[in-house]
Each structure stands twice: as structure tokens, then as C-alpha cells.
Amino acid sequence: MYRTHNCGQLRAADIGQKITLAGWVQKSRNLGAMTFIDVRDRYGITQLVVGEGAEASLKEAADGLGREFVIQATGTVVERAAKNPKMATGDVEIALTELKVLSRADTPPFTIEENSDGGDDLRMKYRYLDLRRPPLQRNMMIRHRMAQSARGFLDREGFLEIETPFLIKSTPEGARDFVVPSRMNAGEFYALPQSPQTFKQLLMVSGYDRYFQIVRCFRDEDLRADRQPEFTQIDCEMSFVEQDDVLETFERMARFMFSETLGVEFGAEPFRRMPWSEAMARYGNDKPDLRFGMEIHELTDRAKSRDFAVFNDAEYIGAVCATGCADWTRKQIDELTEYVKRPQIGAKGLVWVRLDENGDVKSSVDKFYSAEDLQSWASAIGARQGDMIFVVSGGRKQSLRVLSELRLELGERLGLRDKTKFAPLWVVDFPLLEWDDETARFYAMHHPFTSPKPEDVALLDSDPGAVRANAYDFVVNGVEVGGGSIRIFEQELQARMFALLGFTPEAAQEQFGFLMNAFKFGAPPHGGIAFGFDRFCSLFGGSDSIRDYIAFPKNNSGRDVMIDAPAAVAKAQLDELCLVSTAE
Ligand code: ASP
């Protein structure tokens, strides 16, 4: 037997027992007469001690250990003289009697401890060593727990886990596809699924009325902190349901996961639901962070009346009240202004209005507005003495975007975005279509299988941009955790939708013929949702980066620097695939 216990297990109650541990040497300290060794595995760390009077060979073996050696250590559990309350095993140590090196290790390129001294790139290159560190091990455990709780919930609710293929034809999820050349079909390509969307709908036609899959999806997009070229979804679909049925089912799943994994309980009240248009107007964003208020207020009509050209020329003027910030210094205001002027946010400037505790009103536009004007803005916004108001103007869309970022940054600076608090929300009634100026055509906001709201179908011809969809997102703390829709299941409506999206009947048939044909053979009404599992995990773990929750992620250029992928392949391989080499 390699071990009787793990390295996080022993307590005072075990004192006197003879035990064997196996693990990695985190550190070893030779204090002359005594040697202390910390041995680590994924359960914790235990201190081993070679005391005075130990056999010379044992002392020698202990002093010969290097960091990350894999050892097997046998000894007796004894009470520790200097207890360490920070360690779960800190009441005891092991008086060593036998020590065996199972595997030697080179000096690791960075320290493998709670906080490592290694930079990002180095840790990515040696990901298998980084994964030994307790924070990453905790993340993998959270991920495992969450997957198990989702799977358990869905199983009990009668969902069947069914796998769908990875080598498929392009799915229209709006991103670029990764393609795979087919050797047996020279010159032709498979696409890797951006999601199992069409297959799960086909499964509904096949009568599997509750489906789920914890599944890898692939999208060839530019990467950001919360994006990876391959990521995991909890993908679900149900038949004979309306929007309320889907929201109710998955709200229960979310509650179960929060409760099981984090011990977080929400009250009996259903999660809040907010129409998309309201989210945009009040938060400038379709995934509002509801952990704090400070909503956006429109001031367009009110603020236009004087001779301030910047406002008078603006399509939209809006403001956010920074509660209790009247005492902000010039420097703080300038910093915030610089923040929203960064190219990613793109504000031209920031107007401020300060409501001093003594009743004075000061602003960066005092030249144009009287104290009464500014007071009237304040009362429209609900700002009080002691508050600061920040005003943004310009095009409507752009200004709302700036205000949304401004609000989030203020929330951050004021400490209102507490990672241990969770504010769940369903955003509903998304627009069905989104107009793109550049290509002068509509795109599906969610995907082309999303159904319009029955009461809006009449607008499909007259005002397609105003049609709302039976589409919903699950948002927590400003993070879009999941999204889905009720699907079109009528052939005729689906054909109309493809036409609106600019497909000729032939092109629609060629791309989606299999689905439209399937709908000819009895399609049930259906709908579903997919949760971004990596993001869900990082939310639960209180981190902004999904990378920390993926065992082997890619870096920002889509590379796996550990295995060095992607990489060139030999000419012979390309020839076999009928591909042409670009190499010299
Ligand atoms: N396939 C969709 C997505 O990946 C989710 C859904 O509509 O169920 O966003």
C-alpha cells in the first residue's frame, strides 16, 4: 500500500497512529539536529519531522530531498509543539521512521505554492506543475462539483445525456468555424460545432423530449479573458414547453447548483426578469450587474435647453449618480475620465456635477448651467447632497455603452461588486434581429432558429427590427452565464426567417435542408438553453478569468504553449489531405 492517509487528513485524534503518506515535497528545512519536510498532495500538506537521535541514514535521506520529489513517508502521528492554526493538519506532525524516494524531480521553474513566483507564460508552459498549486486544484474541484450537481439535477428531472458529433457541417452561431479537412473526401471539410444546436433540435424531432450534454464547443473568435477557442456548455433542450417552463426548470437547476456547490440560497421569490429594452435603458447593457443600483438616467430633453453645444448636438444625454462621491478629488475625477476615454470605451469626455453637503452645486459646465438647472438634473436622477453626478453625451448607443462601463467602474471603485454576493437575473424579450450597417442586412440576434413572439409576428414584414424574440439570457453579476430560446418549429415560419436573413430558398436548403426536412415529419414545439460552463465555474469561484477553471487552456493567441499547438504538419500529411503547403 502506497499510503494509509492523504496529506490533508490527519488530526489530533490520530495522535499515536502509525501511518504512511505519499506526495510531493513542498519544502524541506534542515535545522541542524532536526529536519522538517512539508509533503503535499491535492488534499493538503502535512509536516514530517526527523528528530534528534534519528538514524543517520534517515537523516541523510531527508536532507537529500529536493523540491517536488515524490516520496513515501512512514511514521507516527505526534502532537506538534508549535501548532499551526492556518493548516488543517497543523496540530500534528509525523515523526518519520522510513522515507522512500519514489521519484526525483528537477528544480521546478517556479514555486508550487498558494502564490507562485512564476509569470503567466512560464506557468502556462508548465501547466501540469501549475495545476499542482492549491488555487488551481480548488478550481478543478469546483468545476467537478458543479458538473456533478448539474448532471445529477438534470438526471433526476428526466433529461437524457446524449452525445452529438464533433465532425459536422457549419452551425450558424455567428462566429467563425474551425474546419477539419476530410482525407476520404478530398477537398471537403468538416466544421467543428459552435454548439450542438441543430442536433439537439433534431433530437426533439426524434422524441427525446429532454436532452442535455456537457459538451465542448468550438468558435474561431478573437480571444479575451473570458473567451477560449474551445469551451464547454451545459447544453439543454426540451419539447412541449413554453418560455416559462424553460426558465422555471433552469432556475431550479441554478438554485440547486448554488446551494450544493457554494451553500448559497436565494429567497423564495423567483429570480428577477427584465425585458432587454429595460436592461439597455437602465443599465446600458444586456447583462446588467444588479449587485448595486446607480442606474442610468436619461437627461436628453432636460439638459439640452442651454447653449452648451456638446449637449445640444447630442442625440442622447445620460447620467449616473455616484452615491456619496461629492468629496472626490480632482485627481479621482480625472482618473475616471481617463478610464472612460480609453479606446475600448471611447468616451470623449465626462461632465461632472457635485452636490456638496452644504447645498452648493458645482460642475464642469458651470458656464452654461445655473445651479437651478443642475438641481433639476439631480432631482430627475434622484441624486442628493453628498453625491456626484457624471454625465455623458453623444450617439445613443455609444453613450449608453460608456455609461454602462462608467457605472461598472464606479461600482468597482466603491467596492459594490462583492464577489461573494450573487444577483441572478433573466433578461427576456431580446430583439429577434439585429441590423448591421456595414453589410446592410439583418442578422439573427441569437440564432436563426429562435422564434419571434407570437404577438410580434405581424411585424416581420413591416418592421422586422422591432420584432421581439422568445429569447432569454441568464445573467449573474453582469456575466452572461447562459442563453437560449423557444425555437421555430413550423417550416413556413422558418423559411420566412431565412428569407429575412438574406438566404435564397436554395441557400437555405443547402445549409439547413436537413433541419427543414426533419420538420416535415412532425416537429414538436421545443426550446432550450445552453450555459457557458467555464464562465459559470469562474463566477462560482469568484474569478474573472475562465482560464483558471480549464485544466489546459489556450493563451490569448489561441496557442497551447505547453504542447506547442497549433503547429505545422509534414508535407506528406498535407498531400494526403489534398492541402497545399505554404512552407518554403
Ligand atoms: N446554441 C445556443 C448557444 O450556444 C444556445 C441555445 O439556444 O440553446 O448560444
The 10s digit of each residue's pLDDT in 192-235 is 999 999 999 999 999 999 999 999 999 998 877 678 999 999 99
Nearest-angstrom CA–CA distance, 78 and 16 = 6
How many Å lie between the centroid of ligand 1 and the Cα of residue 342? 32
CATH assignment of the domain containing 95: 2.40.50.140
Last residue of a domain, one of 400, 417, 434: 417
Residue among 215, 235, 286 whose CB has most ligand 1 atoms within 8 A, to mutate = 235
Nearest-angstrom CA–CA distance, 129 and 223 = 24
Contacts of residue 204, defined as CB under 8 A and 6 or more positions apart, other chains included, come to 211, 237, 238, 239, 523, 524, 526
Q: Residues, the chain, total?
A: 584
Residue ID of nearest Cα to ligand 1 atom 6: 484
CATH assignment of the domain containing 457: 3.30.930.10
503-514 average pLDDT score: 91
CATH assignment of the domain containing 385: 3.30.1360.30
Determine the structural domain holding residue 83 and report its residue range: 12-103
> Beta 361-363 vs 351-355: how paired, if at all?
antiparallel
Q: Ligand 1: which atom is nearest the Cα of residue 528? A: 8
How many Å lie between the centroid of ligand 1 and the Cα of residue 472? 10
The per-residue pLDDT for range 260-305, each reduced to its tens digit, is 999 999 999 999 999 999 999 999 999 999 999 999 999 999 998 7
- Helix, strand, coil percent content, the chain, rounded in steps of 5: 30, 25, 45
pLDDT at 581 over 80: no
Hey, what's the torsion of the CAs at 583, 218, 139, 546, to 10 degrees?
A: 90
Looking at the chain, the whole-number percentage of residues with pLDDT higher than 90 is: 91
Do the domain assignments include residue 584?
A: no
Distances (CA, A) of 7 to 17, 66, 89, 137: 15, 18, 8, 14
How many Å lie between the centroid of ligand 1 and the Cα of residue 235? 7
- Clarify whether residues 430 and 412 are in a common domain: no
pLDDT at 485 over 60: yes
Q: Count other C-beta atoms under 10 Å from residue 129's C-beta.
A: 21
The per-residue pLDDT for range 294-346, each reduced to its tens digit, is 999 999 999 987 789 999 999 999 999 999 999 999 999 999 999 999 999 99
Residues with CB under 6 A from ligand 1: 173, 195, 197, 483-485, 528-530
- Looking at the structure of the chain, the number of domains it has is 3
Do the domain assignments include residue 567?
A: no
Largest CA distance in the chain: 93
Average pLDDT over the chain, rounded to an integer? 95
pLDDT at 583 over 60: no
Looking at the chain, the whole-number percentage of residues with pLDDT higher than 70 is: 99
> In this structure, are residues 464 and 445 in contact, taking their beta carbons and an 8 Å threshold?
no
Grid cell for residue 270: 423567483
| pTM tops 0.85, yes or no | yes
The per-residue pLDDT for range 107-132, each reduced to its tens digit, is 999 999 999 999 999 999 999 999 99
Grid cell for residue 413: 471603485
Residue among 168, 219, 221, 446 whose CB has most ligand 1 atoms within 8 A, to mutate = 446
Q: Count other C-beta atoms under 10 Å from residue 1's C-beta.
A: 6
Last residue of a domain, one of 394, 417, 440: 417
Q: Count other C-beta atoms under 10 Å from residue 341's C-beta.
A: 14
Q: How many CA atoms lie within 13 A of 424 on its CB side?
A: 21
Do the domain assignments include residue 443?
A: yes
